[in-house]
A and B are shown apart, each in its own frame.
Chain A
Amino acid sequence: MAVKVVNWLDERLGLLSIYNLVFDRKVPKVNWWFTLGSASLFLFVVQGITGVFLSVYYVPDPEKAYSSIQYIMNGVAFGWLIRGIHHWGATLMVIFVFIHMLRTFFMGAYKYPREITWVTGVVLLLATLGMGFTGYLLPWNQRAYWATTVGTAIAGTVPVVGDFILRILRGGNDLSAVTLARFFSVHIWFLPVVIVGLISVHMYLVVRLGISSEPKDEAE
């Protein structure tokens, strides 16, 4: 019976060929450092799931953002847990993506034929930092407000166009409801879409090219 179901599905979806292509392939034997990529992916998925749950109650409005988070922490069942995981997940994700980059660098894994994998990875690292920067403002507490004030002010120091960039980031001269709306939107739409897209390319390449092998200190 089970075989019949699998066969029926496979005839239509081609699951077996995916299995053969992705799961049943041979890869070099590697050490634990090579789990950093999948760990980063896992953390992104965790951030995605907890983030979706948080967006149910979070209100991106200066008047309500703070109290909506108070409500998540005190009123919603396990809201504190979801927020706690999202909060710490952000820190861990930055660490893991960064170390993943270092591992790739020190093992020379960015070299032929994996140049594009590297480029997408660097953009993913920047996008992760962008997620951290935009997400930091959302609780609309003192820490968030002043960190973002200083953070966006840095853009204002760019010669000639600095003021223009600053106004784009803040949606005005000062932090306001517009800033919060922009950061929120970038945090939950723009950057996640970019990240999902790049992860797809990144992983397609990893499967297509195979994970790099541990570099050998050969004297060939």
Chain B
Amino acid sequence: MNEEQKQAYLEDYKQEKEKGVKFYPDIIYKDLIVAFALFLLLVGLAIYVGVAAEPPADPSDSSYIPRPEWYFLFLFQLLKYFPGQIEWVGTVIIPTIAVLALLLLPFYDRSPFRHWKKRKVATAIMSIVVIGMVALTVLAAVSTPPQEEVAFATTITDKIVLGQDVYSIHCVECHGAEGEGGEIVGVEGLEGVFLKSISSQDEMYTRSDDTFFAIIDYGQPDLGMPPYGLGYGGELTRGEIDAIVNFMRYTWDDRVEIPEEAAQAGAIPELGPNEIPSYEVHIEPIVKRYCVSCHRPGKKNNNYLMRSFQETMETGDNAPNVIPGDLNSNNILMMNRQEIEAGGPMPPTRALKPELIVIFEKWVLGGAPETAEEAAALSPTEEPTAPITEETEVSP
């Protein structure tokens, strides 16, 4: 712009100002409306959307798919087009040019025109850049595979419940469902090893949470305990190990009280007097806690898997192990400590509590129903399928 154009602009601006409004109240008023709307929006987002919970940082878990904050996604995506040797074109050259172009804009764009109709090139370039950024962002969002859901807990109750689940899968085969230890049976490489209890007062009073964490994470290889932490070749995240430690502490240490909610969530549902148990309500919690640690893939179990109803009913070299209505089913016999063709007593080291065996027997005898509805339909005392008649309403 030359001097003349500058003067012309200032003159024009002066006129605009004279035709204009007062900063207070006119402009301030609009600003306040926008600020207020933004505030409501923020509070609304905080209340109704919130902040997504995330598991704690785990440097050993390299399976996590890194995703930058959304407003950096376009850059992230851009880099994919500059692989290998020319990567620095995407990381250095393009961003530097873009920032400099933006920063120095008023010094190289010296035309006096302000309306877009007289600045078509500038308008077009910026529009293309913005559309490009939006497109790259969308591309990045679409092409990034979804993160595998990782189980993690934030409250103590959730940690205890998660901890029990993880413990039941990974620890029970050697340490037992109550941490009681004893002779290891049926675990490859550790057959016949005798384990001390890990739930005793001795153990609980003399070992800190950090010690438990380290033992699970790093293992005690000389004693036969393999490492479980991802960082040492195991398969547990730090959050999962932390959950196990919480489960152990709150369940076995008699100096701390387990939160009511956690105790309820961990309890095996009770059975009514004439109720027929169902897999989903009664059997699954028992199987999960006492059986799955060995009855999952990769373990010595005659290919009998128990991770679901389907597997429990159908898998195994000696299948079927559950025959509805038959108390001579393999499972029942073995739970009652009998040595049969399909194998020895189950669980190998210590019998299930009698009341749990009773639930199992009632379930098999009642027809081994999967869902609670099926079990209710099989129950002898109630007739839920019968329509409600006046008689039933009158009867006490």
By a beta-carbon cutoff of 8 Å, the part of chain A in contact with chain B is: 22-30, 32, 34-35, 38-39, 42-43, 46, 62, 66, 70, 73-74, 80-81, 83-85, 87-89, 91-92, 94-95, 98, 101-102, 105-115, 118-119, 122-123, 125-126, 129, 132-133, 136, 139-147, 149-151, 154-155, 157-159, 162, 174-175, 210-213, 215-218
Contact = CB atoms under 8 A, between A and B. Distances in A.
Given A145-B59, A145-B64, A157-B88, 18 more contacts: A22-B23, A23-B23, A35-B33, A39-B35, A43-B38, A70-B154, A80-B46, A108-B119, A126-B99, A132-B72, A140-B57, A141-B57, A144-B54, A144-B57, A146-B66, A147-B66, A147-B68, A157-B92
A143 B164 CA distance: 26
A42 B38 contact: yes
A64 to B, nearest CB: 11
B30 interface: yes
Contacts of B113: 108
B255 interface: no
A26 B31 contact: no
Contacts of B123: 106
Nearest to B13: A213
Contacts of A143: 54, 67
15 contacts: A29-B20, A32-B34, A39-B38, A46-B38, A73-B51, A81-B47, A85-B42, A87-B46, A105-B126, A108-B115, A109-B114, A110-B106, A141-B57, A150-B68, A212-B13
Contacts of A129: 71-72
Contacts of A210: 13, 17
Contacts of B87: 157
Contacts of B107: 115
Nearest to B102: A122
Interface in B34-59: 34-35, 38-39, 41-43, 45-47, 49-51, 54-59
Interface of B: 1, 6, 9-10, 13, 16-24, 26-28, 30-31, 33-35, 38-39, 41-43, 45-47, 49-51, 54-59, 61, 64-72, 75-76, 79, 87-88, 91-92, 99, 102-103, 105-107, 109, 112-117, 119, 122-123, 126, 130, 150, 154-155
Contacts of A122: 99, 102-103, 105
Chain A to chain B: the 3 pairs with minimum beta-carbon distance, closest first? A84-B46, A108-B114, A145-B57
Most A CB atoms within 10 A — which of B66, B99, B112, B122? B66
Given A81-B46, A106-B126, A108-B114, A147 B35 contact: no
B50 A26 contact: no
Contacts of B1: 111-112
A23 to B, nearest CB: 4
B50 A110 contact: no
Contact of A84 (B34, B35, B45, B58): B45
A216 B115 contact: yes
B355 to A, nearest CB: 36
Contacts of A146: 64-67
